[in-house]
Chains A and B, each alone.
Chain A
Amino acid sequence: MTRDPSRPVVGRRRFVQGVGAAGAASALQPWNALAGSSPSVLSGTEFQLELAPLTVNVTGRTRSATAINGQIPGPTLRFREGDTVTLAVTNRLSFTSSIHWHGLRIPSAMDGVPGFSFDGIAPGQTFVYRYSLKQSGTYWYHAHGPEEQTGVYGSLVIEPKGGFAQRFDRDYVVVLSDWSDESPLTIISNLKFQSDYYNHNRRTLGTFIQDAKRDGLGATVEDRLMWGDMRMSPTDILDVSGATYTYLMNGQSPAANWTALFRPGERVRLRFIDAGSMSIFDVRIPGLPMTVVQTDGNDIVPVTVDEFRIAPGETYDVIVEPREAQAYTIFAQVQDRTGYARGTLAPRPSMAAAVPPLDPRPLRTMADMGMEHGAGGHAGHGGPAPSGTSSSPSSDPHAGHAMHGMDHGSMAGPQDTAPRLAGRVGVDNVATAPRSRLSEAGDGLDGNGRRVLLLSDLRNAKRGNDPRPATREIVLHLTGNMERFMWSLDGIKFSDAAPIMLKLGERVRFTLINDTMMDHPMHLHGVWSELENSQGDYRPYKHTILVKPAEKLSFLVSADEPGRWAFHCHLLYHMELGMMREVRIS
């Protein structure tokens, strides 16, 4: 598809690319969030953080943001495994807020979700978090509400007690995020009125003619009728796009070009964190293969790739070895190809390499609807789920062993949810043939000619520490109604749902079936999610798992930390609008 000529280009470039740091800083009075380099680093065991309004200028217009210690992202916190840290967080915003420590295995009272673990931090108040660090790796911290979009996020690195598993010479945090000049409530409200408000790549008469030329008129008409019958659009990739977002790397717009320095021959560790509210990024460094060594804070068996996909909430650590004294572009395009975050690896400041063009935009297919190949239409009316729902939940060869220990009686209940979901107000599709997609790179990546990281590639560096099989399976459907912009689990929104109860110490399998046409990064607080991805006892330990459309996957949980924990889609507006559950461990 070609760019729509009717679309104004003037002004949009500045919008998408952002304002260059130097120009903006000199031309405009407000403190420029983009003018700095890397976020400042705080280390030790005592920390003071302050949440406060901050006037920023990302696109050429001044806006009020919410910052941590006057920075977006907030300072990088460097902890040491085994330490007990104290963090006094003061709220200078006009509303109750908090900090959630994303991925940290800490007592629930310290988790920082207002309503679950505490009441939140009222304006003017200080809450003192105190916890011991029983883990190491790359993590992050953020507010657990709409103010996350406007800047309340930062990175967090815990140095391992026994030294790093990998040798490296330089260590950079790379925080990817999305900035909008519109307020979070305006974005949600716009989507409630028109769910494709931010989609400027819808099908048109022009794409119809193109497709008819390529595929024939009959096939194209049939295709349009099939999607029309379902009242869905294959162009729904991300709900909020570059139409309003400027994508940031360490708080800097593409024009500002965040830069990390290296000497040729050095090993450079890049700790990627997707702190975006609604943006899934595809990251690559043209000319440099990346060796992925860690995900979600846990070391994995290194795997070398050209590109990886990272979703909100996830972290991926890579090591690169640039040998030439040249600049390399760190290119992070969003999944719907409406923009990118960009930075540079260079031997000297102020160098830049070519920025690659955006890849072609992906289109959803019937496979993303969870239909058998060639099946058409009527997904909205659902049908009783066939054997797909009740078959063995994962491709993990060891899952079979686990199944022996499972209570099959308790498994019968949740499997019946699929037929009950069809036709609900909040459910526009039920995947009739969900399947494992762990060995697919995902929409927009498969078949792009590059070596892309797969979830099935992830192999934990050490054997899992809980060899017990799961005694129970909890099946949850990820559900939504795109037209009404409603999001839920099992067709029930968070505020209308009962908590998921886990017994302290029990080992359970969560099976997720994505009935929607979008990817959802599902984040479980408090305990690890061990993804069952055919790596046997070396399952990767994740805190956020990206579930593809029509995908069925499972992860194991050891319920070893009591408390009330959140389990939710980490796309901020999906969470806010109901794609969340309480998981109560007692």
Chain B
Amino acid sequence: MKKLTAALCAAAMLTGFASEARAQQPPTPDQPQPHGMPHMLDNAVFAHLLFDQLEGRFGFNEGNSFRWEAEGWVGTDVNRLWLLSEGTLSSGELDDGIQQLFYGRAITTYFDALVGTRWDLDSLPTRGWGAIGLQGLAPQFFKVSAIGYVSGEGHLAARLEASYDLLITQRLILQPQVELNFYTKDDPARRVGAGLSELDAGLRLRYEITRQFAPYIGITYLGQYGATARYVSAAGESTQQVRFTVGLRTWF
């Protein structure tokens, strides 16, 4: 629980920067000029924090859980610091508490390269990873990201995410979303097995009361596979969870 609080505090710190731009000092021209350069906002720093998922998941057979997935960034068009935070709270236990801090650089028209660290911070033993990846907007407006990880123990992992916003009306938006996690080695302490370990998918229907405030309902699916499924079963939990979900998408 402490770790959850810490993660939320870090997120809250980022919101402090939200929605305010501050002009940076423009580069000094080669030769001294009588009055320097106009201060424009073209290299200004902006910051935003998005809670893409802030939701209760209500099981048909299993218990209920609360999940958040947030991303915040601060920076210019090209250089940004990214904070990605997610976790699931069920029966007083925090699972899947993945916190990531990246330096992101815009490298093509629609894609950013990311490099940084990932910390698995939850009720299970903590793990640290180095991370490198890509995120951006693929053709046909699919928001995608692919990040690879390497741990100090030589474990490799990968995570692929994709989502799509289908506008039913200007304000009613259906969002299919999928996240896949892969690991190269077993980590029984974290109930993670080699191969495709986990698939998290959702179909969320949100209503944008404003752009920044959009409650949603949806169906979410969380499935564990292979060795991961065995670890999870051994812990007495279901490996295939389909849940009714109610939440809020909001950004600052």
Report yes or no: B38 in contact with A231, Cβ–Cβ below 8 A. no
B37 located at the interface, meaning its Cβ lies under 8 Å from any Cβ of chain A in the complex: yes
B108 touches A423 (CB 8 A): yes
Q: Does B93 have its Cβ within 8 Å of any Cβ on chain A?
A: no
Using an 8 Å CB-CB cutoff, how does the interface string of B15-56 with A read, 1 for contact, 0 for none? Answer: 000111100001100000111111111111010101000000
Distance to closest chain B CB from A7 (angstroms) = 6
Nearest A-chain residue to B19, judged by Cβ: A189
- Whether A578 and B109, one on each chain, are in contact in the complex, defined by CB atoms closer than 8 angstroms, is no
| Residues of chain B within 8 A of A144, CB atoms compared | 38
B251, CB-defined interface residue at 8 Å: yes
* Contact call A425/B106, Cβ cutoff below 8 A: yes
Kindly supply a per-residue 1/0 record for chain A positions 551-586, scoring 1 wherever the CB is within 8 Å of any chain B CB and 0 otherwise.
000000000000010100000000111101010000
Chain B residues with CB below 8 A from A428, complex form: 109-110
Interface bits A67-98 vs B (CB < 8 Å: 1, else 0): 00000000000000000000000000000000
B20 adjacent to A115 (CB under 8 Å): no
Is B107 in contact with chain A by the CB < 8 A criterion?
yes
Whole-angstrom CA separation of A427 from B21 in the bound complex:
22
Question: 8 Å CB contacts to B: which residues of A197-250?
Answer: 197, 200-206, 225, 228-231
User: Looking at the complex, which one of B137, B170, B171 makes contact with A483 (CB distance below 8 Å)?
Assistant: B137
- Any A CB within 8 A of the CB of B169: yes
B27 with A115: CB separation less than 8 A: no
Closest chain B CB from A244 CB (angstroms): 11
* B124 on the A face (CB < 8 A): no
With A7-B170, A186-B19 already in contact, the answer to whether A495 and B140 are too (CB < 8 A) is no
- Stretch with Cβ within 8 A of B (4 or more), from A40-48, A116-124, A264-272: A116-124
In the complex, per-residue mask of A93-121: 1 if CB is within 8 Å of any chain B CB, else 0: 00000000000000000000111111100
Measured in the bound complex, the distance between the Cα atoms of B202 and A81 in whole Å is 69
Q: Given the complex, which residues of A lie within 8 Å of B207, measured CB to CB? A: 6
Whether B2 sits at the interface, judged by CB under 8 Å, is no
Q: Which of B21, B137, B140 contacts A185 (CB 8 A)?
A: B21
Residues in B with CB closer than 8 Å to A483 are 109-110, 137
Q: Which residues of A contact B40 (CB under 8 A)?
A: 494-495, 575-578, 580
Complex interface: chain B residues within 8 A of A116 (CB): 35, 37-38
Give the residue name and chain of the B residue nearest to A196 (CB).
B211
A194 to B165, CA, bound (A): 13
A229, B110: Cα distance in complex, Å: 12
Q: Is A118 touching B137 in the complex (CB atoms < 8 A)?
A: no
Number of A-B residue pairs having CB atoms within 8 Å of each other in the complex: 136
Q: Does A361 interact with chain B (Cβ within 8 Å)?
A: no
C-alpha spacing A119/B37, complex, angstroms: 9
Query: Among the interface residues B35, B44, B48, B171, which one has the most CB atoms of the partner chain A within 10 A?
Result: B35
Cβ contacts under 8 Å, A185 to chain B: 19-21
Q: Flag if A494 contacts B42 (CB, 8 Å).
A: yes
Question: Given the complex of chains A and B, what is the CA–CA distance between A113 and B37 in angstroms?
Answer: 10
Residues of B in contact (CB 8 Å), total: 42
Asked whether B141 is an interface residue with its Cβ less than 8 Å from the other chain, the reply is yes
CB of B48 within 8 A of CB of A202, answer no
**B45 to chain A: closest CB distance in Å?**
10
B167 in the interface (beta carbon within 8 A): yes
Count of chain A residues near B, Cβ 8 A = 59
A228 in contact with B141 (CB, 8 Å): yes
Given A115-B38, A380-B109, A493-B42, CB of A486 within 8 Å of CB of B211: no
With both chains docked as a complex, state the minimum distance between the C-beta of B154 and any C-beta of chain A, in angstroms.
Answer: 35
Whether B125 is near chain A, meaning CB under 8 Å from some CB there, is no
Query: Pick the contact of B211 from A6, A197, A426, A481 — CB < 8 Å?
Result: A197
Given contacts A119-B35, A206-B169, contact A189 B109 (CB under 8 A): no
Q: Tell me the nearest residue of chain B to A203, going by C-beta.
A: B167
Known: A118-B35, A231-B110, A566-B38. A484 touches B170 (CB 8 A): no
Determine whether the beta carbon of B41 is less than 8 Å from that of A576. Answer: yes
0/1 string, B57-74, CB within 8 A of A gives 1: 000000000000000000
Among A369-409, those with CB < 8 Å from B are 380
Taking the complex as formed, is B78 at the interface, i.e. its CB lies under 8 A from any CB of chain A?
Answer: yes
Q: Is A29 an interface residue (CB 8 A)?
A: no
Complex alpha-carbon distance, A564 and B77, angstroms = 27
A51 to B135, CA, bound (A): 45
**Inter-subunit contact A205/B168 (CB<8 Å):** yes
Which positions 427-463 of chain A face chain B at CB distance < 8 Å? 427-428
Closest to A568 in B: B40
A114 and B38 contacting across the interface, CB-CB below 8 Å: yes
- Out of B37, B169, B251, name the residue touching A6 (CB < 8 Å): B169
Of chain A, the residue at the smallest CB distance from B211 is A197
B109 with A495: CB separation less than 8 A: no
Q: How far is the CB of B188 from chain A (nearest CB, A)?
A: 41
Q: Which of A5, A203, A231, A496 contacts B27 (CB 8 A)?
A: A496
Interface positions, chain A 337-383, Cβ under 8 Å from B, are 380
Q: Is A424 an interface residue (CB 8 A)?
A: yes
Task: Tell whether A188 pairs with B21 under 8 Å between CB atoms, given A425-B78, A426-B77.
Answer: yes
Q: Does B1 contact A (CB under 8 A)?
A: no
B107 contact from A114, A188, A425, Cβ within 8 A: A425
Hey, which chain A residues are within 8 Å of B166, CB to CB?
A: 205
Q: Could you tell me if B46 and A189 are in contact, using CB atoms closer than 8 angstroms?
A: yes
On chain A, the residues within 8 Å of B172 by CB distance are: 6
A193, A228, A486 interface centre (most CB from chain B within 10 Å): A193
1/0 per residue A504-545: CB within 8 Å of B? 000000000000000000000000000000000000000000
Contact, CB under 8 Å: A424 / B109: yes
Q: In the complex, A575→B171 CA distance in Å?
A: 30
A72 to B78, CA, bound (A): 37
Max chain A CB contacts within 10 Å: which of B40, B42, B50, B167?
A: B42
Known: A6-B170, A564-B33. A231 touches B141 (CB 8 A): yes
Whether A4 and B140, one on each chain, are in contact in the complex, defined by CB atoms closer than 8 angstroms, is no
Question: With A202-B167, A203-B167, A425-B108 in contact, is A194–B211 under 8 Å at CB?
Answer: yes
Q: Are B108 and A231 in contact (CB under 8 A)?
A: no
On chain A, the residues within 8 Å of B152 by CB distance are none
Q: Write out the residue numbers on chain B whose beta carbons fall within 8 Å of the beta carbon of A188.
A: 21, 41, 44, 46
CA distance A336 to B171 in the complex (A): 19
A119 vs B38: C-alpha distance when bound (angstroms): 9
Interface residues of B in 195-225 (CB under 8 A from A): 207, 211
How many whole Å from A102's CB to the nearest CB in chain B? Answer: 16
Is residue B236 within 8 Å, beta carbon to beta carbon, of the partner chain? no
| Cross-chain contact B37 with A425 (CB below 8 angstroms) | no
Enumerate chain B residues within 8 angstroms of A189, measured Cβ to Cβ. Answer: 18-21, 46, 48
Residues on the B chain within 8 Å of A6, using CB: 169-172, 207
Q: B92 near A: Cβ within 8 Å?
A: no
13 additional contacts (CB under 8 A) given A188-B41, A428-B110? A7-B170, A118-B35, A185-B19, A189-B20, A189-B48, A190-B19, A193-B48, A203-B167, A231-B137, A231-B141, A424-B109, A483-B137, A576-B42
Mark A residues whose CB is within 8 Å of B.
Answer: 4-7, 113-119, 144, 146, 185-186, 188-190, 192-194, 197, 200-206, 225, 228-231, 380, 423-428, 481, 483-484, 486-488, 493-496, 564, 566, 575-578, 580, 582
**19 contacts across the A-B interface (CB closer than 8 A):** A114-B39, A115-B36, A116-B35, A116-B37, A116-B38, A189-B19, A189-B21, A202-B170, A204-B167, A204-B168, A425-B106, A428-B109, A481-B109, A483-B109, A484-B77, A496-B27, A496-B42, A577-B41, A580-B42
Binding site for A on B (CB under 8 A): 18-21, 26-27, 33-44, 46, 48, 50, 77-78, 106-110, 137, 139-141, 166-172, 207, 211, 251
Top 4 nearest A-B pairs by Cβ distance?
Answer: A115-B38, A578-B42, A228-B140, A204-B167
